[in-house]
Chains A and B, each alone.
Chain A
Amino acid sequence: MARMLKLRIWRGDSTDGALQDVQVEVNEGEVVLDVIHRVQATQMGDLAVRWNCKAGKCGSCSMEINGKPRLACMTQVAAYGEEETITVTPLRAFPVIKDLVTDVSFNYKKAMEIPAYAHPDELAPGEARMEQIDVERSQEFRKCIECFLCQDTCHVIRDHEENKKSFAGPRFFIRIAELDMHPLDTLRNRKKTAQEEHGLGMCNITKCCTEVCPEHIRITDNAIIPMKERVVDIKYDPARWLGSKIRKRDGIV
């Protein structure tokens, strides 16, 4: 069943790089990560690629396959034509370290900027009571495997390095939404800070993030849009509008 696959791999680092063509054996049922591993073991011992679980659960092997942000472990080779060349390149929104590995530290910095969950002081461990239907809203966002494909595809930062400072990206909008919808979280104004400090307003809901999410989280419909709607409510309430102007911080309106 084995056949030869034409694979084109971007190799290089932050200074320089180019696509390299290789031919590699591929067997029935194999995913793109399998053939990359075969290239690594037989032809390019120092080919850099991240991976961990190989089952779509850890979000490590994010890359662009024929230009689309995807998990290499969940992309079947058979999904492409037998004669087709498969091209694998590093995530475009992040600086390249080497070959298919990029510097994703942007995401970890943003994670540190989102205020943590705040548990009610009066609620001792074991005393929490929540309805399943109420936890499910946040659970959808907690499915996130942090593959950062949504961050990679988001055009606010994909080709706009300058926006990164003021824009947390879809991954962190669902983190904020998750906390905002958490039945017990006591921190107020999460939507407002999403707008004012994390760049929610820069998102113009093209839903690219939702399309690439391997966990099928409805990022735009269930997290971003509901938050935007509530922020609008708050902004057009004259009393709140005035209050927000008085305490307004620099940057986003």
Chain B
Amino acid sequence: MSELERHSYDVLVIGAGGAGLRAAVEAREAGLRVAIICKSLFGKAHTVMAEGGAAASMGNVNDNDNWMVHFRDTMRGGKFLNHYRMAELHAKEAPDRIWELETWGALFDRTKEGKISQRNFGGHEYPRLAHVGDRTGLELIRTMQQKIVALQQKDGKQYASMESNVKVFAELTITDILKENGRVSGAYGYWRESGAEVLFEAPTVIIATGGVGKTFKITSNSWEGTGDGHALALKAGANLVDMEFLQFHPTGMVWPPSVRGILVTESVRGEGGVLTNTAGERFMFNYIPDVFKEIYADNEAEADRWYVDQDNNRRPPELLPRDEVARAINSEVKAGRGTEHGGVFLDVSKRLSAEVIKKRLPSMWHQFFELAGVDITKEPMEVGPTCHYVMGGVEVDPDSAAAVGVPGLFAAGEVAGGMHGSNRLGGNSLTDLLVFGRRAGIGAAQYFKSNGKNPVSDSAIRTAATRIQAPFDREGGENSYALHAELQEVAHNLVGIIRTASELEDAITQIADIRKRSANVSVSGGRKFNPGFHLAFDLDNMLLVAESTAKSAILREESRGGHTREDFPGMNNKWRQINHISSFDGVQVNVRQQALPALPKELFDLFDIHELEKYMTQEEIAKGGTN
């Protein structure tokens, strides 16, 4: 066997989406040598799919907005299960992170005064989303990709090569995070192109791998969303928090079948799109929950007026948080008022002119025209829920993004848990990436400066290498594509948008069975760019994630945000005080309960006491926050 390829860095960033790139920029600017791992080509990460915008209370369109309003909206959206400190840091720092992008060359759409324009979105009280048409994620990823290049050019003037201090390793998969003496020492993986193995020696590792959508049959996620970071963290001894909470975006494409699940941006509703069933009824008025009755219009006339006068009218119910809208669509379809393809109608053609639609929603127009043969300037779209985002993730220290329990490990972006509670508001993920990506970069730099290097042992390398070779040494074993399809079916049918105890029990058994069989996966062909081989490792990760989700979901006997139990339909204030913590013992995922950190007094006091009474127990209210 040829000699193992080795690299040594101060920090290894796994993932080159928004969070990973932002972390890499910060770590480099703090003086560290940084390696960035992309599973696909540089600049293709799933962040490019974010359409609507990045939420930050800059107050450019409505100057009543500020961090406190944003914080309140985020906590409401998450049904108060958010880690308050993450929501607080996010709301406070988001505007600076957006303005900073402008100094790196980003070009957001403008207001008449020449400031960054902001648009309305579900759950946000004021127009808050900085955007570029409906391709905001692309703008973010390109800006940061180009910022990385700018840092490389700067290094090139000072050091031997442009890549001496920041290097992008594209099309490389990490299979294990390595530890020595209880601390992170590096990571092991393989080049997707050649299949050759690679060792990274790095005492700090930042996980920024995004989501888990590919566990489900219908998803807006690309092939990369296989829960790699969730599984890497679990196996390295970190915890996952609240993995039962998955966001089913209310509007994915439903027809034709090949595009099922592809995202239809919430901006369509933000710009005035209405949802109707096959009876022509604008059904969202029937689904406004009590906790939101005061801020959402209960009649069409008022809802329509809101688009021109937001100060004197309540918001249209199409702009309720995503979990509410997804459940409503699900109920309409189940009640037989859905389209023949199992969706409902979303129509923006009646409110906006063709010209305005093409200008504000260009990629939506393009997507429907090219893929579904539908002209959204003239006809309604057919939409239905699609698995979009995981709120659960690695348990981290909010300020430093350090993973609890594993010194040297950090996590930021979708892979980290806590920030969004039980449901994420649209637009909060892009600023989450920036705020906590930066914090992870700072956290890793501080850790590195006080702890230094931690060499990798030969035995750790051998263990990791054996695992990679294994599927080639087996013959006539299971097919990874077939097992993946089975897992997606189980997750979709039994751990999906509506759950019950018996189905979850069933799911746990079936996931365990698939996991057992996956230990016997064999792959055909060689190591060179072999997707069957790649999927074998992705499958391992998805199975751990699915187990964690199903086991957390069966314990939570209430419905909240992205977790709906048919057998426990209401929200229960006692459950709001509980986080579910998943850990891995080498054999299976175990889930235990842990108390959610209580709101400190200064944040508690930002809310109207009557609102808090809807979410909190009498004892919590009486305490009035901690201090």
Identify the A interface with B (CB < 8 A): 13, 27-31, 34, 40-42, 45-60, 74, 76, 97-99, 101, 104, 108, 111-112, 115-117, 119, 123, 125-126, 128-132, 135, 138-139, 142-146, 179, 182, 185
Contact = CB atoms under 8 A, between A and B. Distances in A.
A55 B532 CA distance: 23
A139 B132 contact: yes
A57 B371 CA distance: 13
- In order of increasing CB-CB distance, the 4 nearest A-B pairs are A29-B256, A46-B525, A117-B105, A129-B114
A48 B530 contact: yes
A145 B139 CA distance: 10
Interface string B126-161: 000000110100110010001101101100000000
Given A31-B258, A54-B262, A135-B109, 6 more contacts: A53-B49, A104-B41, A116-B147, A131-B114, A142-B138, A143-B138
B404 interface: no
Interface in B427-471: none
A30 B371 CA distance: 9
Contacts of B108: 135
Residue among A30, A58, A116, A117 with the highest chain B CB neighbour number at 10 A: A58
A143 B359 CA distance: 13
Contacts of B372: 29
**Chain A residues touching B, majority SS:** loop
Contacts of A138: 107
Contact of B526 (A46, A59, A145): A46
A27 B481 contact: no
Interface in B527-583: 528-533
A101 B529 contact: yes
Contact of B149 (A29, A55, A112): A112
Contact of B135 (A57, A123, A135): A57
6 contacts: A51-B223, A74-B371, A76-B370, A112-B162, A119-B104, A123-B103
Contact of B107 (A48, A76, A108, A142): A142
A182 B107 contact: yes
B95 interface: yes
Interface string B92-104: 0001100110111
Residue among A131, A146, A185 with the highest chain B CB neighbour number at 10 A: A146
B252 to A, nearest CB: 11
Contacts of B152: 112
B472 to A, nearest CB: 11
Contact of A60 (B41, B115, B485): B41
A144 B224 CA distance: 21
Nearest to B110: A132
B330 to A, nearest CB: 23
B109 A29 contact: no
A132 B370 CA distance: 28
B48 A145 contact: yes
Contacts of A126: 58, 95-96, 99, 102
Contacts of A50: 40-41
Contacts, number: 180
A60 B44 contact: yes
B523 interface: yes
Contacts of B588: none
Contact of B223 (A13, A52, A76, A98): A52
A53 B46 contact: yes
Interface residues of B, number: 71
Contacts of B41: 50, 60, 104
A46 B149 contact: no
B495 to A, nearest CB: 23
B593 interface: no
Nearest to B221: A53
A98 B532 CA distance: 14
A97 B135 contact: no
A46 B480 CA distance: 11
A116 B149 contact: yes
B259 interface: yes
Contact of B105 (A57, A60, A119, A143): A119
A125 B96 contact: yes
Contacts of B105: 116-117, 119, 179, 182, 185
Contacts of B42: 108
B353 interface: no
A112 B156 CA distance: 10
B384 to A, nearest CB: 16
Contacts of A53: 44, 46, 48-49, 222
Contact of A111 (B103, B149, B255, B481): B149
A46 B222 contact: no
B257 interface: yes
Contacts of B262: 54-55
Contacts of A98: 193, 528-529
A30 B525 contact: no
Contacts of B222: 51-54, 58
Contact of B132 (A54, A97, A104, A142): A142
A40 B255 CA distance: 23
Given A45-B531, A142-B132, A55 B49 contact: yes
A206 B168 CA distance: 34
A34 B104 CA distance: 38
Interface string B106-121: 0111100111010000
Contacts of A13: 528
A40 B525 CA distance: 12
Contact of A30 (B102, B255, B256, B363): B256
